[in-house]
A and B are shown apart, each in its own frame.
Chain A
Amino acid sequence: MKLTENKIFKKLFEVTSLISASEKIIIKFYNQDEMKTPMHMSFGDENCITGVVESLRFDSFFFGYYRSHSLFLAASRDPYSFFAELLGKKTGSNGGIAGSMHMSSINNGLLNLSAIVASTLPLSLGAALANKTLKKKKFTTIFFGDGAIEEGVFYETLNMASLFKLPILFVCLDNDLAVDLNKEARQGFKSIKELIKSYKCEYLYSSNPDAIQAYKISEKAKDLIKEKNSPVFLHMKYYRYLQHIGIKNDFEIDNINSFEKSNYRSKETHNKFLKKLPWENTFKKMLKIGFDKKELYKIKKRIEELVIKSYQKARNDEFNDVKDLKKKVFY
């Protein structure tokens, strides 16, 4: 195992642990109702996003969407400003105004998360256009779900990225679902792959990767963008463990007979994925390539302690004053 690789893989493990621990804290304290913000939980996508963000941290700006927690934490590695934002505190990443759906981390290149499906696709292209026009070395990366592919603006953006040969990485986080609808109920095209291949855009694919696999395929995407100076589409399948929004899965007892009772996926599939949680996949891979089990558990414990401390500290922070309400509109 090379030294630099060792360092990178360790960081990947730390970040997936951070995301996993943070999501657990949200689930634990959700019903206290102090985090009053619609949360699209990341449980399931943490390996995909961690791998891509670590691979591109110094090469790219990041744009995302409302399923934001993995992306914010991978980019910022800062659970304190994360929880402060969810709790609506002054000390949040965005002063408590953004909540879960609009966080950013400007110092780490995370420029946007938006609640409107597909709306940040063209923004990322604009940043790529400015990179090219102003001769900046960076490119841009945009994360979006498979539902975004059904929006018109997706085609406009893909067309222009291909036409203008802009340095951009499209990362489609494909969980086969848009809210509670399966792709069969939504998509009239044959496959995402065939669709993308009809544009002048490279296509890469990965299915339920561990964080190291995600990192490696992202490195490949980066090389392709640099080599061809044109867009790349990275298609990443993953399993969404929870419902579209909130902390419930589809099969909890208190869902029965409520409007939240699901009928769009099977318990068998869910149980199958419960046996291979993303964090555990990365953990197992780390063991396989020679990391010490005790050391990994030590890292995990350290991060869990940091996360709970961050949450408690953020809870004690102040809320905004009424006089802050009208600040920060454009004029």
Chain B
Amino acid sequence: MSKTYKAALKEAMQEAMDKKPYSLIIGQGVTDFKGIFDTIVGFKDKYPNRIIESPLSEDSVAGICIGAALNGAYPINTHIRADFGLLIFNQLINLAAKYKYMFGGLFEIPSMYRMVIGRSWGQGAQHSQSLQSLMAHIPGLVVVMPADPSSIIESYRYAIQKHKGPVVMLEHRLLYELSFDDDKAKLSHPLFGSKLEKEGSDITIIATSVMVLEAKRALNHLEKNGISVELINLHSISHPDKEMICKSVEKTGKMLIVDTSWPEYGVCAEMNRIVNEYNPSVLKAPTKSMGMVSTPCPTAKALEDMYYPDVHDICNTVNKMVNGDDAVIDLPKKESMTDFYKHFKGPF
């Protein structure tokens, strides 16, 4: 049975409310008619004391979440754009992430921070940032980028019911309205693992979030051209399945990383670190990284289409890595994801 990304989010939030009696959802717009992009619409009527609309005070709301977690609640803090999440970095990094360690292991901060990454329809420089590597850098934080409904259900359930620390869930706005069929591939761990989406032999693609979807489209096209791709959905940015990554690259000898963010000092760099520290000789060719162009995000559509890699760019890169620079295959046309799926017409 197919399910949309946002329906899975709603299911996860519903489960948090029903199975975790002390869960609270707090943030701006949690009681409005849009209900965080239709993931908690109607919750305020059902749980009047547990859905808390906040003033424009991100910094202190994050601190409130820590204090509430210390005192027995399970807070879920929402940000309709990850860019607003930057306003909570003091609390998230200086306090939540360190709380257990800094106080000698006496405290737990079970809590969740949902941040939505924007893309397309002119989201621009401050509504489109993909900040996973900034946060995954910090010991004590768990950072996850679920790429499909089953990953949402599994990872949110585990985070809310079992994990005792802060978890950042980076959701992708472009995925919200999309329907996904039942998934046969499974996460190796809900929070501390990755998902082997498809086995292959010529090259390993490691993708995050919405780029898993784009990599899947590329993979279908490449198969028709005789290129066998192994695809890993990284899922946990802070705690990826290193063994899965290394074994895969050992098998294929080639690695392409396709991230939603900038390649420098980020997921792309980290994947290279993992493989090189495992055994650099498993690589039969230089690795390649694909992500946003290293500029702030432009608003103009013509520029934005150049800013994000698409299925054409992935196929072109894979073909060159597998068959050499001069090899020619039939490539899909250049087309942005939003044009392809046609569902996202803004404004948010």
Give A38-70 as 1s and 0s: 1 = Cβ < 8 Å from B's Cβ atoms: 000000000000000000000001010000000
The answer to the question of B283 belonging to the interface, with a C-beta cut-off of 8 Å to chain A, is no
B140 touches A329 (CB 8 A): yes
Rounded to whole angstroms, the CA-CA distance of A98 and B106 in the bound complex is 11
Q: Of B57, B73, B106, B192, which one neighbours A130 at CB under 8 angstroms?
A: B73
Q: Give the interface residue-count category, chain A.
A: 35 or more
Which chain A residues numbered 101 to 153 have a C-beta less than 8 Å away from chain B?
Answer: 102-104, 106, 111-112, 114, 116, 119-131, 133-134, 136, 140, 152-153
Check: B75 CB closer than 8 A to any chain A CB.
Answer: yes
Determine if B70 and A122 form an interchain contact, defined as CB atoms under 8 angstroms apart: no
What residue in chain B is nearest A123 (Cβ atoms)? B67
- What does the 1/0 interface line of A312-331 toward B look like (CB < 8 Å)? 00000000000000011111
Smallest beta-carbon distance A85→chain B, Å: 8
- Contact status A156-B57, CB under 8 Å: yes
Report chain B residues within 8 Å CB of A97: 101-105
- Interface pair B63/A116, CB less than 8 Å apart: no
Contact assessment for A330 and B140 in the assembled complex, using a CB-CB cutoff below 8 Å? yes
Contact residues of B between 83 and 113, Cβ < 8 Å to A: 90-91, 94-95, 97, 100-109
B104–A125 CB distance below 8 A: no
Nearest CB on A from B30, distance (A)? 14
Q: Is the Cβ of A126 less than 8 Å from the Cβ of B166? A: no
Find chain B residues with CB under 8 A from A102 CB: 102-103
Contact B70 A328 (CB under 8 A): no
Residues from chain A with Cβ under 8 Å of B192 in the complex: 331
> Given contacts A114-B95, A127-B70, A133-B73, are A106 and B107 in contact (CB under 8 A)?
yes
Closest to B62 in A: A122
CB–CB A126/B64 < 8 A: yes
In the docked arrangement, what's the CA distance between A230 and B320, Å?
67
Decide if B101 touches A329 in the complex (CB within 8 Å).
yes
In the complex, what distance in Å separates the CA atom of A122 from the CA atom of B164? 20
Residues of A within 8 A of B73 (CB): 126, 129-130, 133-134
**A151-192: which residues lie under 8 A (CB-CB) from chain B?**
152-153, 156-157, 159-160, 163
Structural contact, B63 and A111, CB atoms closer than 8 A: no
- B190 CB → nearest A CB, Å: 12
A35 to B327, CA, bound (A): 67
Q: Distance (Å) between the CB of A199 and the closest chain B CB?
A: 13
B102 contacts across to A, CB distance below 8 A: 94, 97-98, 102
Question: With a CB–CB cut-off of 8 A, which chain A residues contact B61?
Answer: 122, 156, 160
Question: Who on chain A is nearest to B192 by CB?
Answer: A331
Interface: B188 (CB within 8 A): no
For residues 24 through 71 of chain B, which have their beta carbon under 8 Å from a beta carbon of chain A?
24, 49-50, 52, 54-55, 57, 59-71
Contacts A/B (CB < 8 Å), 5 sampled: A95-B104, A98-B103, A122-B63, A129-B52, A134-B72
Chain B contact residues, CB within 8 Å of chain A: 22, 24, 49-50, 52, 54-55, 57, 59-73, 75, 90-91, 94-95, 97, 100-109, 139-142, 163-166, 192, 239
- 5 closest A-B pairs by beta carbon, nearest first, are A126-B67, A122-B63, A330-B165, A94-B104, A95-B104
